[in-house]
Structure formats: C-alpha cells, structure tokens
C-alpha cells in the first residue's frame, strides 16, 4: 500500500516511483520496460514521462539497439535536471563530484589536505558553495563521506587524524548529508554493485584503516547512534596493540595501509604515506600475505556472527584479495563454524572500485530528493528558473581513469 487516497496523491506517488526506477537502473531501461516493471498502464506512463520532462526532470533518447518499427525511448536525466553534489573525504585528500539522476558522475575537484578539520573541510565547504552558486537550482543537496564514525547531527570522530566531535555542517553554507565512508560505500554496493538484490550482505572497505557494515534488505545498519560501521575496531585477530581509538587489539591495526607500512618498518599514521603503502602493496609479498591473513580471520568471525550471503571488499581489501587470495582463504575457511564450511558465503571484490563512498554520498542525496515533497520543491524552483543559460548550468561530463585518491 502506498497510502495515496486521492488521484493527485497517486500521481505524485507514481512520479516518484518512475524517477526512482530510472535512477536505480542507471537510465538504461526503455519506457516500455519501466511501464511493465512498475505495472503502469501505457497511457499513465506516457502522461507521467511527459509531465516529468516538462518539469525538467527527465529527457528521452532513442534506445541505441533499436532497429525497426516504432522508435523505443529510454528515459534519462534531463540536461538541466537535478544534480547531487557528492564528496569523499579521505584521510589525505577529498574528491568532489556532480551526479545526475541515473548515477553518472562528473568529478569537479580533487584536492589534498593537511589532515586537520579546517584544512580538509574548509576548502571543501568553499568548493561546494561555489558550485551551488554556479549550478543554482539544479543542486538538490550535498552528501559528504568521511573516514570515521559519524553521529547524528553530523559530528565526526577520526581517531587516527585526531578529530574529535568535529561538527561537519558548520563548514558548509547549506548543511550536507554526512555519513561514514564505509556505510556509504556499502549503500552504493547494494544499489549498484554486487550486493544488489542480496538480502543480507557484509561490506568491508579498507583504506588506511578498516571499516565494515552489515547490509540488510539494501540498507546499512547504522546502529542506535548512527555509528554502526566500525568492525575495524573489534578485537578479531588476537592483537594486543593499543589503537588510537582508545581500544586495544583492533582488527584495523592489522589490515590496511597503516598495517602495510608498519609491517615493513615505515612511519605510519596521520593519513600520510599512501604512495609508500601502495609501493609496499605492489612489492612486498610478505606484508600483503600478512594483511590478507588478518583480513580473512576477521571476515570469518563476522560471517559466524552475522550469517551474510555475500561478503564484498573495496579499497585495499579488494587488492589484498586479488594479490593474496590463498593467504586470505588460509585463515577464512578454518575460522568458519563447521556448519558453514560446505557452503561458505562467497567473497567478492566490489564492482565500484574506490568510487563506492562517493556514489553512496550521491545516493543519500537522491534518497532525500526523490519524495513527493522533494519533487514539489523542484517544480516550484524550476518554474522560476527553468531557462537558465547553458553557460550557467553546464557540467562537463567525464569518467576519470584514476580511481584512487592522490
């Protein structure tokens, strides 16, 4: 039941359903396919598409594979349609992108930072404000992924950078949606990656540190305070080293860029040493095998606890698996309960590479926008500003080859 009690409410509900379907499929389905999947009458679908096009939300193009007969149209993002600004703030750099309905990403800016809240979030807030002014009513919101636990209200703690209760929204003119990078990466994996249509999945993201979150029916479990993506701070490998988070023996001490650097005796911490860690990853079989064994041991413990169908790995987690799968399985398989060994959950590398957190930030913005209220606000603004010049509204699309932060 959708709760609609009038024809107007039903139309508003179906407008959202159609836009959501276009977004979720990546703007790849034809109008007839969407009509069938949403169980709409053909006439209803035609009226909805026409109305959404008039409002500057959709634009149709001929299907590329169409050969003969009546042209088949594919609804996709309007050239002056809504944009979500999405940022991935890593420990040493941030990336800012504009994202269209359907998920196409255009990178706007990539900058290194000094690891302080002011040095990282100050310039990011300025960049977001500048692009909001340039793109005007097209921007429907901003989402920011951060490499640490995020409490309700946008307070973030990144222990290995010394961030404590940093109020992220104060760096932005308009408050963004703020979330943990692993939780956002898991959300993106559930929408556009290998956890799509998976009932219960486990996603692990490894950068300098390690984070993880359980996905249930397409949503990451955030916990009572919004900080439920911290599997890296569980004592899963038997270690005894004190962690900068305040706990002892955290799993993340043995997996990630910091662990690789420590293994070969290099300085680590503070979000520095990415290039050196990548060199270690490429050249030290011993360090990679040690990280893979620690990763496999922790994955086994989480599988025993949560019973996921699939485990997905992103960031350095995927690279450890690709380079040392035997070492990972060496600890993963024996660590499973006997009843799980005949059919263990499969482990897969993310389909999204290092882009997951950014895409998850995008999804959080479109989740907030794709509501009857969000579309009503868009329509009001669009009627006033629908004919802005291309120069004011232009976003030059590109797909960067580089996926890692500098």
Residues 368 and 334 in one domain: no
The pLDDT of residue 384 is: 56
Band (405; pLDDT cuts 50, 70, 90): very low
Residue 402: inside a domain: no
In this model, does residue 316 exceed pLDDT 70?
yes
If 0-12 CB within 10 Å is exposed, 13-18 middle and 19+ buried, where does residue 8 land? exposed
The pLDDT of residue 160 is: 85
Tell me the per-residue pLDDT of 28-66, one tens digit each, with 9 for 90 and over: 999 999 999 999 999 999 999 999 999 999 999 988 765
Tell me the per-residue pLDDT of 13-25, one tens digit each, with 9 for 90 and over: 999 999 999 999 9
The pLDDT of residue 132 is: 97
Q: Is 81 helix (H, G, I), strand (E, B) or coil?
A: coil
In this model, does residue 156 exceed pLDDT 90?
yes
The pLDDT of residue 44 is: 94
Band (305; pLDDT cuts 50, 70, 90): very high
Q: CATH number of the domain at 256, please.
A: 3.30.420.40
Residue 403: inside a domain: no
* CA trace torsion 201, 104, 117, 181 (10° rounding): 0
Cα 390 to Cα 59, 86, 134, 257, 360: the distances in Å are 16, 22, 11, 43, 28
Tell me the per-residue pLDDT of 73-106, one tens digit each, with 9 for 90 and over: 999 999 999 999 999 999 999 999 999 999 999 9
Q: Are 192 and 26 in contact (CB under 8 A)?
A: yes
Residue 389: inside a domain: yes
pTM of the model: 0.90
Where does a domain end: 38, 53, 77? Answer: 77
In this model, does residue 2 exceed pLDDT 90?
no
The pLDDT of residue 192 is: 95
Band (164; pLDDT cuts 50, 70, 90): very high
The pLDDT of residue 227 is: 76
Cα 79 to Cα 59, 60, 206, 301, 341: the distances in Å are 7, 10, 36, 48, 51
Mean predicted confidence (pLDDT) in 163-168: 95
Please provide the distance, in angstroms rounded to a whole number, between the alpha carbons at the two ends of the chain: 48
Q: How do strand 155-158 and strand 105-112 relate by DSSP bridges?
A: unpaired
Residues 17 and 66 in one domain: yes
Residues 118 and 158 in one domain: yes
Residues 119 and 166 in one domain: yes
User: Average pLDDT over the chain, rounded to whole?
Assistant: 90
The pLDDT of residue 226 is: 75
Band (360; pLDDT cuts 50, 70, 90): very high
360 or 71, higher pLDDT: 360
Query: What is the rounded distance in angstroms from the CA atom of residue 299 to the CA atom of residue 291?
Result: 12
Tell me the per-residue pLDDT of 243-291, one tens digit each, with 9 for 90 and over: 888 899 999 999 999 999 999 999 988 889 999 999 999 999 999 999 9
Tell me the per-residue pLDDT of 229-246, one tens digit each, with 9 for 90 and over: 689 999 998 888 898 888
Residues 101 and 177 in one domain: yes
The pLDDT of residue 139 is: 97
Mean predicted confidence (pLDDT) in 384-394: 46
Residues 137 and 257 in one domain: no
401 or 127, higher pLDDT: 127
Q: CATH number of the domain at 42, please.
A: 1.10.10.10
Where does a domain end: 77, 96, 121? Answer: 77
In this model, does residue 69 exceed pLDDT 70?
no
Query: What is the rounded distance in angstroms from the CA atom of residue 404 to the CA atom of residue 382?
Result: 36
Residues 230 and 334 in one domain: yes
Q: Are 254 and 239 in contact (CB under 8 A)?
A: yes
Mean predicted confidence (pLDDT) in 307-329: 96
Residue 189: inside a domain: no
The pLDDT of residue 389 is: 38
The pLDDT of residue 251 is: 94
The pLDDT of residue 380 is: 87
Domains in the chain: how many in total? 3
Residue from 152, 150, 135, 235 nearest 184 by CA: 150
Residues 6+ apart with CB under 8 A from 81: 56, 57, 58, 59, 100, 101, 138
Q: What angle do CA 88, 58, 102 make, to 5 degrees?
A: 30
- A 10 A CB-CB count for 28 gives 12
Residue 59: inside a domain: yes
Q: Which structural domain range is residue 20 located in?
A: 7-77
The pLDDT of residue 239 is: 86
Tell me the per-residue pLDDT of 195-231, one tens digit each, with 9 for 90 and over: 999 999 999 999 998 999 999 999 998 888 777 768 9
Helices assigned H by DSSP within 170-209: 181-192
Residue 399: inside a domain: no
Tell me the two tokens of residue 230. Answer: 């911290």
The pLDDT of residue 143 is: 98
Tell me the two tokens of residue 255. Answer: 């997996």
Residues 233 and 362 in one domain: no
Mean predicted confidence (pLDDT) in 156-168: 93
Q: How do strand 73-77 and strand 58-62 relate by DSSP bridges?
A: antiparallel
Query: What is the rounded distance in angstroms from the CA atom of residue 237 to the CA atom of residue 77?
Result: 47
Mean predicted confidence (pLDDT) in 309-336: 96
Residue from 114, 122, 165 nearest 270 by CA: 114
């Amino acid at each position: 039941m959708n709760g609609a009690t009038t024809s107007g409410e039903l139309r508003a509900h179906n407008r959202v359903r159609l836009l959501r379907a276009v977004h979720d499929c990546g703007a790849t389905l034809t109008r007839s396919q969407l009509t069938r999947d949403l169980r709409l009458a053909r006439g209803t679908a035609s009226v909805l598409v026409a109305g959404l096009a008039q409002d500057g939300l959709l634009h149709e193009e001929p299907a590329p594979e169409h050969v003969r007969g009546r042209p088949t149209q594919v609804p996709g993002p309007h050239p002056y349609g809504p944009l979500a600004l999405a940022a991935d703030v890593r420990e040493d750099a941030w990336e800012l992108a504009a994202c269209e309905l359907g998920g196409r990403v255009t990178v706007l800016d990539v900058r290194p930072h000094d690891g302080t809240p002011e040095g990282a979030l100050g310039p990011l807030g300025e960049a977001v404000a500048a692009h909001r002014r340039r793109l005007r009513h097209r921007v429907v919101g901003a989402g920011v992924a951060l490499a640490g636990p995020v409490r309700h209200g946008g307070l973030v703690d990144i222990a290995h950078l010394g961030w404590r209760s940093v109020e992220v929204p104060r760096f932005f003119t308009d408050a963004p949606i703020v979330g943990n990078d692993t939780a956002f990466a898991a959300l993106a994996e559930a929408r556009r990656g290998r956890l799509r249509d998976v009932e219960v999945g486990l996603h692990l993201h490894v950068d300098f540190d390690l984070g993880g979150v359980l996905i249930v029916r397409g949503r990451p479990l955030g916990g009572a305070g919004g900080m439920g993506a911290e599997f890296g701070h569980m004592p899963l490998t038997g270690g005894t080293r004190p962690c900068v988070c305040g706990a002892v023996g955290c799993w993340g001490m043995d997996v990630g860029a910091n662990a690789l650097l420590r293994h070969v005796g290099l300085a680590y911490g503070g979000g520095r040493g990415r290039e050196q860690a990548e060199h270690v990853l490429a050249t030290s079989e011993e360090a990679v095998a040690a990280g893979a064994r620690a990763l496999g041991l922790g994955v086994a413990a989480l599988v025993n606890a949560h019973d996921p169908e699939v485990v997905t790995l992103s960031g350095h987690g995927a690279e450890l698996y690709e380079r040392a799968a035997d070492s990972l399985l060496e600890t993963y398989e024996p660590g499973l309960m006997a009843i799980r060994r005949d059919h263990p959950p499969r482990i897969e590398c993310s389909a999204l590479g290092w882009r997951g957190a950014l895409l998850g930030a995008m999804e959080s913005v479109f989740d907030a926008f794709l509501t009857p209220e969000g579309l009503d606000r868009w329509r009001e603004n669009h009627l006033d500003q629908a004919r802005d010049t291309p120069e004011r509204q232009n976003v030059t699309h590109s797909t960067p080859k580089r996926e890692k932060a500098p």
